[in-house]
Structure 1
Amino acid sequence: MASRGAVTTSVMLCVCLVCVGHVLRLPARLLNDDTKRALGYPPDSLLNFTERSTRYGYPAEEHRLFTQDGYILTMFRMAGAKEGGVARAPPVILMHGLLQSADAWLDAGPSAGLAYLIADAGYDLWLGNVRGNYYSRDHVHMRPDTDPQYWNFSVDEIGLYDVPATIDYVLNYTKADKVIFLGFSQGAGAYFIMCSERPEYCNKAKLLITLAPAARQTNTKSVPYRTLTQSMNKLESVLATSGIQEVFTKGALSQEFLAFFCPLSWISQLICAKGEALFDSFHPGSISNETLRVLFGHFPAGTSVHNLARYGQSMQSERFEKFDYGKSKNLELYGSLRPPEYNLSAVTVPVTVLYGESDHLVDTEDIAWLLRRLPNVVEAVKVSDPLWNHLDVTYSSLTKQTIFPKISDYLLQYSDN
């Protein structure tokens, strides 16, 4: 049997190769969409959010909003039930996780994608996109391709600026008093950060539903994820010197590689399914081959090196804290040698937590740590399927039977009609 050191070295080499592929940008795609259609690629892998939702009878609107620090975000609205009629209030915001976009909520298809299920239940659904993904890669003054400062953000800034801007836009547009906020992984962690830093926003939601919420990630079991993020933390300054601040973007070599091969049916099961299981845990029968063929047309969606470095730090600390720049810069920025902890007691909104026992990215020990610190947990639900993992939340074909009934119960309980 190979030694633990040899296995770790192999994983690090593989991750480095993947990183190089994602860093390199292609001037053009390997194949154009017409060629991919002729080869039998699934149409959903080639369509954007509004094209896909409309294709299945869910007309969607595209909205652009501005954050306080000048980032331009794109948000989508799927208003009301598919059959028409008056949408239930308050509006519902659905926020994706790390390296995802709003497309993630459609990838499992109309029978399992959480966006479709919530829209079918009659809610006014808004789907966010955080800074740096391919739908929100814009700024009032800075250009992502030429201004390195654009990429100086992490989940800290997403929570401080993106989530409040998203909530404000929905409230102003709909004239509602409050929203219901569903956050997956990073999307939930960003809401916690907002409550700590801008508590006046915390109670603009009637309810916060968190799906595998990522706060502290000390006990993450995923070796590739841990290796990737901690490597980014160590190499951030080196990469910045080389002009690399953006990674895992749509159009990068490795994303194009995945988008090229994974829609081919036999490769998606043979290679892509095993790659997905390597980063999380193996859950046979959960993510369908059709979903695997679709999702790599939209994933990964891009982020900053700084954001991945921030997650690497979260695995080395027992606290949920701001970015650690080192003692001297911490003292300059924060007035303390250590980065300040986020105040989880400020999350006063009613919170529901759903998590999986086999989640290798957000471990159950870190969920238990989080639950002891949130002051207003209405219910914490461990999914009954013992193999339920992190990526199942967005991509599983079993969503309608596993997590949606509980989500639906709480949406109905906290809705006005």
Structure 2
Amino acid sequence: MASKTNVMFNILFVSVAVILGNVLRSRLIPISNEFKRSLGYPEDSLLNFTELSQHYGYASEEHTVVTEDGYVLTIFRINRRKCSKLRRPPVILMHGLLQSSDAWLDAGPDAGLAYLISDACYDLWVGNQRGNYYSRRHVRLDPDRDSEFWKFSADEIGLYDIPATIDYVLKYTREAKLNYIGYSQGAGTYLIMCSERPGYCDKASVLITLAPAARQTYTKSLPYRFLTQVISQTEDALATTGVYEIFAKGSLSQEFLAFLCKFSAISEAICGTGESLFDSFHPGSITNETLRVIFGHFPAGTSVHNMARYGQSMQTKRFQKFDYGKERNMKIYGEEQPPSYNLSAVTVPFVALYGNNDHLVDPKDVSWLISRLPNVLEAKVVSDPLWNHLDVTYSHYTKDLIFPKINEYLLKYSQS
């Protein structure tokens, strides 16, 4: 067996290589899907949200949301054609860090949460947060030319993207409230909205969180800690070289992973092991077929600034805004320390589902969060002791292990 030192060296080496692959890259010349098909890429990995959902018999619509600060977000409405009548109110499903709406389809129609929720005839809206490939637009800024586009983190996503998405869905459907399901960053940004935007928390009847990411003090994943903290420490240096975007779809690292993981014979051994090193081992949870699809859509891109914020979140026991240093904090916040988010403002009925084997959002941090919220309906540990973070979107056990609880609360807060 390899020594612990050798394993750590390999992890750090791969992490550095991934960072450099993004830092040194320019956007690759797009490779056509026709050429990728000839090389044996799985079809699902080449399709976008509307194509993939349609491929499995689901109708989807593409909608455009513009935030108050000018970011242009693409969101999707999806439903199963067999539903003669949709349940009300609508449901928003929001992805996690470095993901897109595609993450909810990658596990296929028997396990992807977007399919399962649609099969239950909910009016489902699948969101995208700024900076991923579906939301890499702005009314004024060019993401390839203007560094200002990338000066955002989860703080701005919670302040602008989540409220704008909620407002759009409510206006379009003419409903007074909706139900919200947030995974990881998609949950944490909702909490930020509740703290910063009075009244918005009340626009949901229930908030169902899946491995909610607030503070990340006890994160066990050494590669994730290393990556985010190196980025946090080198953000200014990266900016001097013009690097503001990271882990973009179409970058060298993403295209390499997509190519490597397309090989059925090695995808589980190499890509599955790599995924497990960043999270934790859960043998058999993510199928080989799903592993071959994931990396056609992941990573989906974000800002260096956002990754730096996650590096900071592992250095504090508070759920707080971005720390710019004492001098800049005084100018921005009027105090030397970044303010903590007001979790007592999260008055919406709250449900949490999380795993004891999650190495990215540790159960101790979830318990800390739950203890500070005023309206917790239920906090449930997934029954499988090996359930981890990435299982939420990609496990083929989703239908049995987390969807029943999600459906229970959606039914409770919905009308036929």
Shorter-normalised TM range: over 0.9
User: For each residue in 1:238-288, what CA deviation from the matched residue of structure 2 results, as whole angstroms up to 9, or x when unmatched?
Assistant: 000110000000010010001112111012112101110010000011000
> Which structure 2 segments of 5+ residues have no match?
none
User: For each residue in 1:288-319, what CA deviation from the matched residue of structure 2 results, as whole angstroms up to 9, or x when unmatched?
Assistant: 00100101000000000000000000000000
User: For each residue in 1:156-193, what CA deviation from the matched residue of structure 2 results, as whole angstroms up to 9, or x when unmatched?
Assistant: 00000000000000000000110100000000000000
Q: How far apart, CA to CA, are the structure 1 residues paired with 2:208 and 2:47?
A: 29
8 Å CA contact 2:322–2:338 kept in 1: the answer is yes
Which residues of 2 match residues 287-298 of structure 1 at below 5 A? Answer: 287-298=286-297
Name the structure 2 match of 1:63: 63
8 Å CA contact 2:179–2:206 kept in 1: the answer is yes
Which residues of 2 match residues 250-399 of structure 1 at below 5 A? Answer: 250-399=249-398
Structure 1 residue 60, shift from structure 2 partner: 0.5
Does residue 179 of structure 1 match 2:160? Answer: no
8 Å CA contact 1:73–1:136 kept in 2: the answer is yes
8 Å CA contact 2:353–2:381 kept in 1: the answer is yes
SS of the aligned residue for 1:134 comes to coil
Name the structure 2 match of 1:45: 45
Structure 1 residue 11, shift from structure 2 partner: 2.9
Name the structure 1 match of 2:197: 198
For 1:22, give the aligned amino acid: N
Which residues of 2 match residues 200-219 of structure 1 at below 5 A? Answer: 200-219=199-218
8 Å CA contact 1:22–1:255 kept in 2: the answer is no
CA-atom RMSD in angstroms: 1.3
Does residue 148 of structure 1 match 2:147? Answer: yes
For 1:316, give the aligned amino acid: Q
Name the structure 2 match of 1:25: 26
Name the structure 1 match of 2:123: 124
Q: TM-score, normalised by structure 1?
A: 0.97
For 2:278, give the aligned amino acid: F
SS of the aligned residue for 1:210 comes to strand
Name the structure 2 match of 1:220: 219
8 Å CA contact 1:353–1:381 kept in 2: the answer is yes
SS of the aligned residue for 1:60 comes to strand
Q: How far apart, CA to CA, are the structure 1 residues paired with 2:90 and 2:128?
A: 17
Q: How far apart, CA to CA, are the structure 1 residues paired with 2:281 and 2:81?
A: 34
Q: How far apart, CA to CA, are the structure 2 residues paired with 1:335 and 1:9?
A: 42
Q: Which moved more, 1:14-23 or 1:50-59?
A: 14-23
For 1:247, give the aligned amino acid: I
Q: How far apart, CA to CA, are the structure 1 residues paired with 2:55 and 2:258?
A: 21
For 2:325, give the aligned amino acid: G
Structure 1 residue 40, shift from structure 2 partner: 2.9
8 Å CA contact 1:82–1:120 kept in 2: the answer is no
Q: How far apart, CA to CA, are the structure 1 residues paired with 2:22 and 2:289?
A: 24
Does residue 406 of structure 1 match 2:405? Answer: yes
8 Å CA contact 1:82–1:122 kept in 2: the answer is no
Q: TM-score, normalised by structure 2?
A: 0.98
For 1:37, give the aligned amino acid: R
**Percent identity between the aligned chains?**
65
Q: How far apart, CA to CA, are the structure 1 residues paired with 2:71 and 2:302?
A: 14
> Which structure 1 segments of 5+ residues have no match?
none
User: For each residue in 1:44-88, what CA deviation from the matched residue of structure 2 results, as whole angstroms up to 9, or x when unmatched?
Assistant: 000000000011110100001100000000000014x43031110
